[in-house]
Amino acid sequence: MSSKKRDRFYTVLVLSDADSKIRRFHVNSNWLRVSFIIGAIFLIAVSILISNIFIIRNHLDNKIAELDRLKEKISYKEIEVANLESRSEEIKVKTKILEDYLSQVEDLDKMVRNITGKGGYEGEVAIYNTDLNADVDYANDTGEIFYYDFTDAEDLNNINKILDDLIAKAPDISAKLSQDKQHMEDHIYQMDHTPSIWPTSGMITSLFREYRGRGHYHGGLDIANNTGTDVNSSAAGVVIFTGRNAGFGNEIIIHHGFGFMTVYAHLSKIIVSVGDEVTKGQLIGKMGSTGYSTGPHLHYEIFKDNTQVDPMDYLK
């Protein structure tokens, strides 16, 4: 009986229309079961494939969306980096402005040290500029992208504010320094044109206002030494007279400005000419005994605002 079950066939009748011949097909039951199983497996496989395709497509959509978000973050970071570079350039420009102002301070400082020989800075004044532009180290990047850290932006804003405050104050400071520098230069010029150094070397033989008898007082300072001893200008100025002047013999008169004028008399030799500009300490003649003189010496006078004054009040 089991052999009959194994050999069981199913008959399939196929009729195309009423007049056609009936076609019979005998199908083994075993082949029918195999076909059913194969069909079921195929449907299951197709269903699984479609399901996997849907899952993969959904995963890809999520990845695409994530990539779009990363692109947006990268774009945002590029904008912030560009802003950083722009602010850095602005800071560099402002720093250069402050460097120019600072150079004026340095010049004034050098002038003060040259005059006084002390104070100020011994070294050069320098601006230390830190480069605020930094390349991103992609080699050590973790692969994760973050939004820009606003702490850096706040630091730049603070630096910008400090620079703005300094630049706002700098013109007034610079103007004041310029005035101080001008006053210093004016003072140097005036000191250079004020009789203050000894015109020659030797022994003082007569003082200012020394009584000479018959109501006559000595109008200058006499300094005695050997004939030919150097005579120098006691201040910078312009020569306004050279030549013989009665009892004063060979004489030089120098106009210094600021109300000062000096006289050098009894010279053996005159080296300068009228109109010459002389500097403080410049050689102008040689000591002698021309005119009314008892021996080689220099008769030296200082006039201030057309009045004779005591040279000892000015000589250092």
Residues 79-89 pLDDT 10s: 777 777 777 77
Minimum mean pLDDT among 106-120, 153-167, 170-184, 262-276: which range? 106-120
Choice between 171 and 133, residue whose per-residue pLDDT is larger: 171
pLDDT value at residue 155: 62
Closest alpha carbon to 231 in 265, 276, 190, 275: 265
Name the average pLDDT for the chain: 78
CATH match for 203-313 among 1.10.600.10, 2.30.30.140, 2.70.70.10, 2.30.30.100: 2.70.70.10
Q: Is 198 helix (H, G, I), strand (E, B) or coil?
A: coil
Choice between 9 and 221, residue whose per-residue pLDDT is larger: 221
pLDDT value at residue 37: 84
225-262: pLDDT as tens digits:
999 999 999 999 999 999 999 899 999 999 999 999 99
pLDDT value at residue 153: 54
- 202 pLDDT exceeds 80? yes
pLDDT value at residue 114: 67
- 113 pLDDT exceeds 90? no
Domain residue limits, the chain = 87-130+146-192, 203-313
| Banded pLDDT at 137 (limits 50, 70, 90) | very low
Span 4-10, average pLDDT: 59
Residue 93 Cα to chain centre, angstroms: 9
Closest alpha carbon to 234 in 210, 259, 270, 260: 260
Give per-residue burial for 215-238: e unless 16+ CB within 10 Å, then b. Answer: eeebbbbbbbbeeebebbbbbbbe
Instruction: Please give the C-alpha separations between residue 77 and each of 52, 80, 140, 149, in angstroms, as whole numbers.
Output: 37, 5, 18, 9
How far is it, in rounded angstroms, from Cα 95 to Cα 131? 12
pLDDT value at residue 133: 38
pLDDT value at residue 117: 54
Closest alpha carbon to 102 in 207, 173, 22: 173
pLDDT value at residue 146: 37
State the distance between the two ends of the chain, measured CA to CA, in whole angstroms. 153
pLDDT value at residue 215: 66
